[in-house]
Amino acid sequence: MITENHITVQKTARFYTLGELNQNTKHVWMVIHGFRLSAQSFLTEFQPLANDSTFFIAPEALNRFYIDKQGTEVGATWMTREDRLNEIKDYINYLDTLYLNLGLNNYKGNITALGFSQGASTVTRWLNATQNRVDRAIVYGGEVAPELLPLSETSGLRKTYNYFICGKRDKFITAERLSMAQEAYKALNFTEIFFEGGHEINTASLKSLIAQ
């Protein structure tokens, strides 16, 4: 008889940073990449927004794979449907550990968590569960993890200022899907920002938030 079993093991996680975390830092942004991306390539999208008072952190998902037939390009994914609940538990623990490792529990400035595409579901699951302070949540070109709705009374997403950002030509978010999401997300009190573009990070849509 074949029986499924689990053990907890140590794993080395990789993350990238842009800027410095020091006494001049006013804003910390944790940016969560989407499916098939790497943390390094994703973080390059935020370079136009870099300044002396903002520190960016881009954690990389724990699961990597080749994204081309030649095996030259590597991407990462936060989870698949296989052993889903354990993968969610692992990345929530990973993001909490990274938060504490960087000393953000002692940081007094503004903390923003942004999730793009698959990273949007990832970041909302983390914010829903974490006890660590995050001031703003940005769901960018993705969706709130559906199992979180309706929000519980203890959800961390009730404590954050929430933003939904989407390209008007995002092929993954149709008008029908957007309408359904807007209805479902009422409890999150999203501030909505739309830009002319597709499934991509549009830095102009974030400039006003960087300055806050």
Identify which of 151, 92, 154 has the alpha carbon closest to the alpha carbon of residue 125.
92
Percent of the chain at pLDDT > 90 equals: 85
Percent of the chain at pLDDT > 70 equals: 99
Angstrom distance (rounded) from CA 182 to CA 173? 12
Q: What's the half-sphere exposure (Cβ side, CA atoms, 13 Å) at 156?
A: 18
State phi, psi for 116 to the nearest 5 degrees: -105, 130
Query: Token digits for 95?
Result: 């993001």
Q: Which tens digit of pLDDT belongs to each residue from 82-109?
A: 999 999 999 999 999 999 999 999 999 9
Average pLDDT rounded to a whole number, residues 52-66 = 95
Tally Cβ neighbours within 10 Å of residue 157.
Answer: 25
pLDDT at 3: 95
pLDDT at 65: 87
Handedness of CA 181, 183, 187, 192 (dihedral sign): positive
What does the mean pLDDT of the chain come to?
94
Q: Which tens digit of pLDDT belongs to each residue from 130-176?
A: 999 999 999 999 999 999 999 999 999 999 999 999 999 999 998 88
pLDDT at 188 over 80: yes
For the chain, domains (ranges, CATH) are: 15-211 (3.40.50.1820)
pTM for the complete prediction?
0.94
H helix count then E strand count, the chain: 5, 9
pLDDT at 68: 85
pLDDT confidence band for 212 (50 / 70 / 90) = low
What residues contact 154, with CB distance under 8 A and at least 6 apart?
Answer: none
Average pLDDT rounded to a whole number, residues 51-77 = 91
pLDDT at 71 over 80: no
Please report, as a single letter, which amino acid is at residue 198.
G
